Amino acid sequence: MTGPLVSVEGLRVLFKSADRTVHAVNGVDFALQPGEVLGLLGESGSGKSVTLKALLRLLPASRTTLSGKVTVAGHDVLSMDERALRQYRGGVVSMIFQEPMLAFDPVFTVGDQIAEAVMRHEDVGRAAARGRALEMLERVRIPSAKRRLDAYPHEMSGGMRQRAMIALALACKPQLLLADEPTTALDATVQIQILLLLRELQKEFGMAVIFVTHDVGVAVEVSDRMAVMYGGRIVERGSAADVIRRTAHPYPQGLLASTVHGAMRGTRLEAIPGAPPDLSRMPTGCAFAPRCRLADDTCRSVAPPIAALAPGHEAECHQPRVLSA
């Protein structure tokens, strides 16, 4: 295939309720090549999870207004009907979550659910589907996979369940995997196992991955490219090294400075002042301006342009300054 696998242009998501309108995503553009891993980094309310869910049209249709253009593997996602969506979800794109119990039905065995998913998307019999389920459980390194086929989700430990959910998501060999903080609820020693497993499976299956996380370290471990979100927009993007080492936007700069790591004992943390913006009352200019050290009147009144810093490295800022770390 030529051209990008995923292309998102001007994606906006509004949530409407009787009291207020929440501007969750405010014009997100990005493209993803087949087999590429994009880390979407942001804090709560930055719009990272909403962007991900919009790619699968998982947001409640009655309260949500989606606009923009989202194309995944040739499918125009925002105009698909229910039937097309069913084939698309799980077949072309699948998703893993923070809480694996959400992905599984507690009353069926793990093996049956994986086999079920395979039969829904491919023209194969039950025996072949179960064979695929077993193969998948082995590929995600679940010990004694054969026995685990007949286990119920609640009989597995946290890390095991996460692996089983990955097996379920990859059973139909999707071209794109969406990962919504899949390791956040896990213990440290288990988290690293899952991250390494995902990296390995990504190479093996050659699929593209969008990995949403709030943890810089996790994003570094999995991403080829990274995009940092704030106030429903991508404020900086580039290779992982660009974003971590040659950070240009004041928000990721502040985020990196305030993230505790290594031997920082005795030094005062450079915290970003203030709190994230209220998404129902977005400022007119740069969303980060109220918290930014460098903000001037332009920042507060005019939306910032995209500044190209290097090939593929862009920041949405009136005065980007690369700070080398």
Partner 1 sequence: MSASIPQGIADEDIGGPAQPLLSIRGLVKHFPIKGGVLNRTVAVVQAVDGIDFDVAKGETLGIVGESGCGKSTTARLLVRLIDPDAGEVLYDGLKIGAQDGLDLREMRRHVQMVFQDSFASLNPRLTIEDSISFGPKVHGLGAKEAKARARELLQQVGLNPNLFVRRYPHELSGGQRQRVNIARALALRPRLVILDEAVSALDKSVEAQVLNLLQDLKAELGLTYVFISHDLNVVRYMSDRVMVMYLGRVAEIGPVDAIYGNPRHPYTKALLSAMPSMDPDARTQEAPIAGDPPNPINPPAGCRFHTRCPFSEPVCAAKVPDLAAVAGDAKHAVACHMNVAGSGHSRTAGAA
Partner 2 sequence: MSAASAAVSSEAGQVPVASRGYWSNVLRRLARDKVAMACLAVLVLILLAAIFAPLIAPGDPYRGSIIRRLRPIGTEGYPLGTDELGRDMLTRLIYGGRLSLFMGIVPVLNAFLIGTFLGVVAGYVGGKTNMAIMRTIDVFYAFPSVLLAIAISGALGAGIFNSIVSLTVVFIPPIARVAESVTTQVRNLDFVDAARASGAGALTIIRVHILGNVLGPVFVYATGLVSVSMILASGLSFLGLGTKPPEAEWGLMLNTLRTAIYVQPAVAALPGAMIFVTSICFNLFSDGLRSAMDVKL
Residues of the shown chain interacting with partner 2 in the complex, contacts defined by CB under 8 A: 271, 273-275, 278, 291
Q: In angstroms, rounded to a whole number, what is the distance separating the alpha carbons of residues 123 and 49?
A: 32
The answer to whether 306 and 314 have CB atoms below 8 angstroms apart is yes
Assess 271 for contact with partner 1 (CB under 8 A).
yes
> Nearest-5° angle of CA 101, CA 106, CA 109?
110
Stretch that binds partner 1, among 64-72, 217-225, 293-301, 302-310 (CB under 8 A): 217-225
- For partner 1 (CB under 8 A), the number of binding residues is 47
Q: Are strands 64-72 and 75-76 parallel, antiparallel or unpaired?
A: antiparallel
Residue 304 sits at φ, ψ, to 5 deg, of -70, 145
Stretch that binds partner 1, among 61-69, 103-111, 126-134, 152-160 (CB under 8 A): 152-160
215 binds, among partner 2, partner 1, none (CB under 5 to 8 A by kind): partner 1
The answer to whether 198 and 166 have CB atoms below 8 angstroms apart is yes
Instruction: Give 275-287 as a DSSP string.
Output: ----TTS--SS-T
Stretch that binds partner 1, among 29-37, 53-61, 113-121, 260-268 (CB under 8 A): 260-268
Assess 265 for contact with partner 1 (CB under 8 A).
yes
Assess 193 for contact with partner 1 (CB under 8 A).
yes
Q: In angstroms, rounded to a whole number, what is the distance separating the alpha carbons of residues 217 and 255?
A: 12
Structure tokens at 69: 């253009």
Rule CB under 8 A: choose which of 80, 124, 244, 295 binds partner 1: 244
Assess 261 for contact with partner 1 (CB under 8 A).
yes
CB of 269 to partner 2, least distance (A): 11
AA letter at 299? C
CB of 192 to partner 1, least distance (A): 4
Q: In angstroms, rounded to a whole number, what is the distance separating the alpha carbons of residues 314 and 171?
A: 36
Rule CB under 8 A: choose which of 258, 280, 284, 301 binds partner 1: 258
For partner 2, which is the closer residue by CB, 231 or 238? 231
Q: Of 285, 280, 279, give the one whose Cα is nearest residue 302.
A: 285
For partner 2, which is the closer residue by CB, 281 or 321? 281
Rule CB under 8 A: choose which of 270, 284, 293, 308 binds partner 1: 270
- What is the CA 260 to chain-centroid distance, rounded? 23
CB of 76 to partner 2, least distance (A): 34
Q: In angstroms, rounded to a whole number, what is the distance separating the alpha carbons of residues 141 and 94?
A: 20
Q: Of 163, 162, 164, 173, give the one whose Cα is nearest residue 207.
A: 173
Assess 255 for contact with partner 1 (CB under 8 A).
yes
Rule CB under 8 A: choose which of 272, 287, 299, 317 binds partner 1: 272
Q: Are strands 208-213 and 225-230 parallel, antiparallel or unpaired?
A: unpaired
Q: Are strands 64-72 and 6-16 parallel, antiparallel or unpaired?
A: antiparallel
Structure tokens at 136: 């998948």
Q: What are the residues facing 72 on neighbouring strands? A: 6, 75
For partner 2, which is the closer residue by CB, 143 or 274? 274
For partner 2, which is the closer residue by CB, 46 or 94? 46
**Cβ count within 10 A of residue 145:** 21
The answer to whether 154 and 104 have CB atoms below 8 angstroms apart is no
Rule CB under 8 A: choose which of 57, 245, 246, 300 binds partner 1: 245
For partner 1, which is the closer residue by CB, 28 or 226? 226
CB of 233 to partner 1, least distance (A): 16
For partner 1, which is the closer residue by CB, 18 or 263? 263
Return residues touching partner 1 (CB under 8 A): 43-44, 157-160, 187-193, 195-196, 214-218, 220-221, 223, 239-241, 244-245, 254-255, 257-265, 268-273, 275-276
